[in-house]
Structure 1
Amino acid sequence: MNFESLYKLFVMNDSTTFNRIYNEKFNSQSTIKFDIYINEQQSFFTYDKYIMALVSNIRNIDNRINEIFSNLPPIAIDQYMRKSLIDEIEYTNEIEGVISTRKDINDLINEIEKKINTRNRFEGIVNKYVLLTEEQLDFKDSFDIRKLYDEMLYNEIRLEDEKNLPDGKIFRKETVHIYKTGEKIIHNGIMPESKIIEYMNKALYILNDQSIDILIRVSLFHYYFGYIHPFYDGNGRINRFISSYILSKHFNEVIGFRLSMTIKENLTQYLEAFSHTNDSRNKADISTFVYEFLDLIYKSYQKTEIYALEKSQILKKYEMILEKITPIFETHKNIDAIHQLLFILIQCSIFGDFGLTKAKLCKILKKGNTKVTEFLGVLKKHNLCTEIQSGKYHYYQANLEELDKLDNQVI
């Protein structure tokens, strides 16, 4: 037996039985009531054994992933984080129908890391995700949400359609509708702006209430933000970023870069979690959404664990191959540096997307451009290095197929 929402129980029971179940749940000692009303009913959350099992499972798998990552070299972790960062930005845009290519995102990350003002429409959102694990953000009141919006999406939305920019004191002053695949209206953002501000401040209070488990808080706030819908455009991306940011501060950083991909892969579950919780038959029980959102976080962790374990095994394989083929460089006086460079490029190929630029390789190896160019030349001579051009950038990776061939040749 799994978690059963009031939305489902309404359909499964007669009205007398359902009302008894609702009253028992609403008045339970395990229930927290909030001063936010959904369909004119007071919203609440109940600590349920299935929800708490998910919380426990998430914490356990987080510990396992930390253990896996502790045994990976720094370049492998950096490359995986970079790949995950690109995934997160690509998918959070795609969910909203905004097209952004992986190549463009990767190049833009390079520009931001060099502190170059690009004037790119996605600079705001990419910059925020780049700083996800470094920047300290406070979400205390509605002004903090507006500040994040201005830094992250204002310029992009201004370029797309100025009419979608906030026109109230902080948020929107007119109504906004949420449609199902361009068809019927499935939700109206709350009105007027004074109520938006009031409810947003209350939702932020819940987000910062340390008496509630952080996983529950993040889930509750994610729902309330979507229900309030404070902006004309960009609500989903702002909401997912806040959840990613909070999760990255309390758990393994990578989970903050995997949320949107998991939501995109399970979009029906995500949207139904909102629609079922919004439904009047659910009686404003936010536990419905919390369970589904936690399940999505757990699924994200499961995929991350499987991926990390698989890639770790692949890395061990190529470490052994590297040791076997090192003699082919023995005539070169910088054999150790070339060995180190190839190991770095192997990590890029296994864990990353594009590889590393020569400038970054110079920094990692603590060698000048001339030396690194020389070392790359040696690897290219043996067809062990590939060069990928993306815009003005050139990225380098190891040629794993050639390494496999050499492995088969070495006795």
Structure 2
Amino acid sequence: MTYQLLSIFKYNGSGPSKSLDEINQEYQRRLTGYSTVVTNLFPVLDHHEFEQLSTFPLFFIQTNEINTLINQVNRNSKKIIKLAHPLPGVAKHSYTRKLLTAEIYFTNEIEGVKTSRKQIGTIISELNTKKKSTRRLESAIRLYNITLSGKTYQIQTLEDFRKIYDDLLRGEIPESKQPDGHLFRNKAVYIGTESQKIHNPPVNEREIQQKLMPLINFMNDETVLDIPKSLVTHFMFENTHPFYDGNGRMGRYLLSAYLASKLDPYTGLCISSAIHANQSAYYKIFKQTDDVENRADATLFITKLLAIISQGQQDVIESLSQLSVQLEKTAQKINAQFSDPIDQTILYIFAQSKLFSDRDETGIKDTELKEFLYADAPQKFHKRDLQRRIDRFEAAGILKRIKGKPVQHIITNTCI
């Protein structure tokens, strides 16, 4: 039987609509069930267009479908780790950079904030250099990159929310939309359009703090399963909408960072692309969960987001599987065409970079390749010799120069 929110349950299919008493009885049955998790979170629920209520505790039922999806997400994560583990270093690094580019691109795209994949890729490629600037998106990219290294923010205070917001969105929020309270916004806002208000979050900073303090306790509650906890946190943060602008991007960052730490980095980096592919369903389930008729029931919200995350993981699994096979065949082709081990190594690295990089990225720089090989075996790989070989491959049409400063080449389809 498909789980129904109370707003659908009341219609009773083709029979007569349920009475208010019957709806109340069903609500109490759900709230007190053995598999129900009742939180101390009280989201702002929309009643008609301009009225809000915060009298219902957020709850969810651990249905068979939710348990099945959690198992699926965990199994997918193990498959991803298994596929990624044997990849050579350049392939793994390039693919991580590819997913990070997509995550930043799509989290902005969902909000209608236009960005360039090439611009994002360029900033990511320079993260480990001494070159630092105040370029747009650089702060967000650095924060995501820190998350991938295993370091995550531990949110213990309200100030922690503000610090993440400032670090993630530095240079992205216009002056007119900067927080005007001590930490958060201090004026009423609405989500939607002037003619159709979709959600009215807390009206001032005091009410925002009253919502976020219990959320901090919930986030640090180890008795709640990790994955449902991350999804409830995502809903509650967006429902509270503590800032004038950037709430969606921060909410998805929090979800991405948490799943990256609890599952694997690739799962964390497929969140926004998966949501973007299911954007209508994503907004619909938010609206349903915000509806006072459903009395803060997050069961279907969790179910839908688990399905979206699982689909994002499946895309990663399919991509990694195909690329791994292609890389193996490419290595065989290179080894068949070239007998010199150093030539084979150089071309194999360029092949990894091309196959596993984003289509708008330029891949590995010549200096990076030479430094990588020299650090691995300085007696075997001499930088001048490597440069001579790269020049020879370029003259033969095997490598193509795509950039001058710094010099970059990509491998042509001769070897792919």
Tell me whether the two structures share a fold, i.e. TM-score over 0.5.
yes
Residue 158 of structure 2: aligned partner? 142
Q: Describe the superposition over 1:344-374 as per-residue Cα deviations: whole angstroms up to 9, x where unpaired.
A: 1111111112210122112211156533321
User: Mapping of 1:35-114 within 5 angstroms?
Assistant: 35-38=40-43, 39=45, 40=54, 41-114=56-129
Q: Is residue 337 of structure 1 aligned with residue 342 of structure 2? A: yes
For residue 403 of structure 2, give the secondary structure of its aligned residue in structure 1: strand
Structure 2 letter corresponding to 1:202: P
User: Mapping of 1:174-189 within 5 angstroms?
Assistant: 174-179=187-192, 184-189=196-201
Q: Distance in 1 between matches of 2:255 and 2:410?
A: 33
What is the CA distance between 1:44 and its match in structure 2?
Answer: 1.2
Q: Is residue 388 of structure 1 aligned with residue 402 of structure 2? A: yes
What is the CA distance between 1:386 and its match in structure 2?
Answer: 2.5
C-alpha contact (below 8 Å) 1:179/1:185 kept by paired residues = yes
Structure 1 letter corresponding to 2:156: K
Q: Distance in 1 between matches of 2:178 and 2:318?
A: 41
Residue 119 of structure 1: aligned partner? 134
C-alpha contact (below 8 Å) 1:361/1:372 kept by paired residues = no
What is the CA distance between 1:325 and its match in structure 2?
Answer: 0.6
C-alpha contact (below 8 Å) 1:345/1:398 kept by paired residues = yes
Q: Describe the superposition over 1:310-346 as per-residue Cα deviations: whole angstroms up to 9, x where unpaired.
A: 111111211111121114xxxxxxx322211100111
2:371 to 357, 360, 363: 363
Structure 2 letter corresponding to 1:132: T
For residue 319 of structure 1, give the secondary structure of its aligned residue in structure 2: helix
What is the CA distance between 1:304 and its match in structure 2?
Answer: 0.8
C-alpha contact (below 8 Å) 2:11/2:18 kept by paired residues = no
User: Mapping of 1:18-37 within 5 angstroms?
Assistant: 18-37=23-42
User: Mapping of 1:8-407 within 5 angstroms?
Assistant: 8-12=8-12, 14-16=17-19, 17-38=22-43, 39=45, 40=54, 41-134=56-149, 135-157=151-173, 161-179=174-192, 184-327=196-339, 335-353=340-358, 354-366=362-374, 367=381, 369-389=383-403, 392-399=405-412, 401-403=413-415
Residue 409 of structure 1: aligned partner? none
For residue 126 of structure 1, give the secondary structure of its aligned residue in structure 2: helix
For residue 113 of structure 1, give the secondary structure of its aligned residue in structure 2: coil
C-alpha contact (below 8 Å) 1:6/1:288 kept by paired residues = no
Q: Distance in 1 between matches of 2:258 and 2:130?
A: 25
Q: Which runs of 5+ in 2 are unaligned?
A: 46-53, 375-380
**Greater mean alpha carbon deviation, residues 248-257 or residues 133-142:** 133-142
Q: 1:394 to 1:100 in 2, by over 3 A?
A: farther
For residue 42 of structure 1, give the secondary structure of its aligned residue in structure 2: coil
Q: Describe the superposition over 1:267-305 as per-residue Cα deviations: whole angstroms up to 9, x where unpaired.
A: 011111100101122111011211111111111111111
Q: Describe the superposition over 1:187-223 as per-residue Cα deviations: whole angstroms up to 9, x where unpaired.
A: 1121221121121121122122111111011000000
C-alpha contact (below 8 Å) 2:219/2:233 kept by paired residues = yes
Residue 48 of structure 2: aligned partner? none
**Greater mean alpha carbon deviation, residues 244-253 or residues 14-23:** 14-23
Q: Describe the superposition over 1:22-45 as per-residue Cα deviations: whole angstroms up to 9, x where unpaired.
A: 221111122222222243322212
C-alpha contact (below 8 Å) 1:87/1:261 kept by paired residues = yes
C-alpha contact (below 8 Å) 2:189/2:244 kept by paired residues = yes
What is the CA distance between 1:152 and its match in structure 2?
Answer: 1.6
Count, aligned residues:
391
Q: Describe the superposition over 1:76-115 as per-residue Cα deviations: whole angstroms up to 9, x where unpaired.
A: 1111101001011111111111111111111222333213
For residue 15 of structure 1, give the secondary structure of its aligned residue in structure 2: coil
Provide the aligned C-alpha RMSD in A. Answer: 1.9
Q: Distance in 2 between matches of 1:196 and 1:265?
A: 31
Q: Which runs of 5+ in 1 are unaligned?
A: 328-334, 405-411
Identity %: 26
Q: Distance in 1 between matches of 2:179 and 2:8?
A: 37
Q: Is residue 4 of structure 1 aligned with residue 4 of structure 2? A: yes
TM-score norm. by structure 2 comes to 0.89
Q: 1:312 to 1:4 in 2, by over 3 A?
A: farther
C-alpha contact (below 8 Å) 1:154/1:165 kept by paired residues = no
Q: Distance in 2 between matches of 1:352 and 1:72?
A: 14
